[in-house]
Amino acid sequence: MRIFITGGSGWIGSAVIPELLAAGHTVTGLARSDESAARLVAAGVTPLAGSLGDLGTLSAGAAASDGVIHLGFNHDFSDYLGAGRTERAAVEAIGDALAGTDRPFLFASGLAGLAEGRVATELDANPFTSPESPRGAGENLALSYADRGVRSVALRFAPTVHGERDHGFVAQLVTVARERGASAYVDDGTNRWPAVHRLDVARMVALALDAAPAGSRLHGAAEEGVAAREIAEAIGRQLGLPVVSVPAADAPEHFGWIGRFFGADIPASSARTQHLLGWTPLHQGLIADLDAGYYN
């Protein structure tokens, strides 16, 4: 198939592309800069110049494809509502271009906020419906295209997609620990974060392109929930720093922007996803990656 991908030069997308090429697909990738275009070319992908705000480019890329994998997102926490509006407009542009074709539209979503305090499953609907919600309520909007002849599939990634050279949430926790001189968790640290290795979730995406039916919600999580205290202790071991508890009220000041998330208890199961796709995560877990020194 001819696949159009956004976010192809990013953390997850750059792992998905080799899976797509190995399966015999040809890939065109949205490139917002010359640097991104060069990375795509080096990976065997045809670049299409444009950004997530270039709705005409998104529409044209989708219309010329046999399927779309939308992984790009503007992670600007200083204007998160603006990023959500951009995401919503991008989903509409892609969905409208694919309407009535029965072509796949796989799109990135997240596991955070689905069912705090209990294990979320693929049966849990996304609670965000307002355009002012996180990510512009893009998941529910994209899934609505299943009623318009699009094989839309939600890729709900764990907040921690880890691996060597990860620069996401856990890397930010390491940065905070260095700056503060201690590795911290919130309250008693029993709250849990799901996690998945980057290469495992890339395989999940490739399998979903072939097998996931319209309206599917897939969970990219290999570990159901890693306790925050375990994460903090692993960071402390690697950096040689003390491990301390921070009261929830002080978390935003201590951790910065990530303090809004690190105290959340958001475990999630991927049992239904694994059964549906025949997907089995094979790579090592988050604590093993931390102990391997990938975040030093």
- Asked if residue 171 and residue 286 are part of one domain, the reply reads yes
Instruction: Give a yes or no: residue 234 inside a domain.
Output: yes
Q: Is residue 20 part of a domain?
A: yes
Residues 17 and 153 in one domain: yes
Q: Is residue 235 part of a domain?
A: yes
The pLDDT of 64-91, averaged and rounded, is 85
Please state, in angstroms and as integers, the Cα–Cα distance from residue 208 to each residue in 16, 153, 155, 265, following that order: 11, 8, 9, 27
Both 149 and 212 in a single domain?
Answer: yes
Question: Do 100 and 179 have their domain in common?
Answer: no
Q: 18 and 106: one domain?
A: yes
pLDDT mean over 128-155: 88
Number of domains in the chain: 2
Q: Are residues 213 and 115 in the same domain?
A: yes
Same domain? 215 vs 182: no
Token look-up 């919503």 returns 88
Q: 48 and 25, same structural domain?
A: yes
Q: Flag whether pLDDT at 133 surpasses 70.
A: no
Angle between helices 198-211 and 13-22 (to 10 degrees): 50
Residue 101 backbone dihedrals phi, psi, to 5 degrees: -100, -15
The mean-pLDDT minimum among 49-53, 77-81, 253-257 falls in: 77-81
Residues 83-123 pLDDT 10s: 778 899 999 999 999 999 999 999 999 998 899 889 999 99
Q: How confident is the model at residue 129 (pLDDT cuts 50, 70, 90)?
A: confident
Residue 80 reports pLDDT greater than 80: no
pTM for the structure as a whole? 0.95
**Residue 288: which pLDDT band, with cuts at 50, 70 and 90?**
very high
Domain of 76, CATH number, reads 3.40.50.720
Has residue 41 been placed in a domain? yes
Q: Which domain holds residue 37?
A: 2-158+198-220
